[in-house]
Amino acid sequence: MNAEQIREAKSETRRQVERSLADLPPNRRRAAGIAVAQRLANLPAVREARTLMVFLSLPTEIDTWPIIRWAWTAGKRVAVPRIERPVQADEPVWQRQMVAVPLPAADVRSIDAHPAVRPGTLGILDVPEAPPLEAADIDAVLVPCLAVDRLGRRLGKGGGFYDRFLAQADLKAPRIAIGFREQVLDEVPESDSDRRVDMIVTDAETLVCR
């Protein structure tokens, strides 16, 4: 496929998966988040990580709050992504850098109640008052996805933030896509700039990508 055909295939895949996820009932979403956290806690790459990078999930994504709470109780440092503010006022969003910043442990009931967390770029929760971590200090990265296939081809929302972050030469950590079982497809369209993941964890299975 040429570049335009890949863009169209990605857009159609996003529409299909978003429709599928919109039909998931709240009890299924809660149960799936707990199941994924349990699978991750038993995964050697996560269990042995000293610094675990976890995204702060949106309502449509797999709930990452259970794995964040587990990581704190296991004595791990939790890092979360932050899309940096523009250097210049007219800087396009998609050109901004994504960094990992520490999320301090807190005894709160939900991530949006965390005193250090605020809405950031594109309305995504982040930690604005925290220094960036070095990529080399991250031991495992949990990556969001809209869709992923068993070869590790991952489809995000189109901003390219994770693809650029995962392309860093100093980042040696395993990349683990997490989501609902409905997000694992037979094939995901891929561009040259896309970065694949090493593993996939859903509420149904744990996959090592080949």
Comparing CA positions, the residue from 134, 136, 148, 146 lying closest to residue 55 is 146
* pLDDT of 178: 98
Say whether 27 sits in a helix, a strand or coil: helix
Per-residue pLDDT of the chain (210 residues; tens, 9 = 90+): 788 889 999 999 999 999 999 989 999 999 999 999 999 999 999 999 999 999 999 989 999 999 999 999 999 999 999 998 777 767 777 778 899 999 999 999 999 899 999 998 888 899 999 999 999 999 999 999 999 999 999 999 888 899 999 999 999 999 999 999 999 999 999 999 999 999 999 999 999 997
Taking the complete model, does pTM exceed 0.75, yes or no? yes
| Amino acid (one-letter) located at 37 | A
Residue 33: predicted pLDDT: 96
Whether the CB-CB separation of 82 and 53 falls below 8 Å is answered with no
**Which domains does the chain possess?**
3-85+95-208 (3.40.50.10420)
Identity at 3, one-letter amino acid code: A
pLDDT score, position 86:
74
Q: Tell me the per-residue pLDDT of 19-61, one tens digit each, with 9 for 90 and over.
A: 999 989 999 999 999 999 999 999 999 999 999 999 999 989 9
Helix (H, G, I), strand (E, B) or coil at 101: strand
- Rounded to 10°, the helix 65-73/26-41 angle is 30
CA-CA-CA-CA torsion sign (89, 94, 95, 99) = positive
Residues 6+ apart with CB under 8 A from 14: 146, 147, 155, 157, 158
Whether the Cβ atoms of residue 139 and residue 54 lie closer than 8 Å to each other = no
Q: Are 17 and 147 in contact (CB under 8 A)?
A: yes
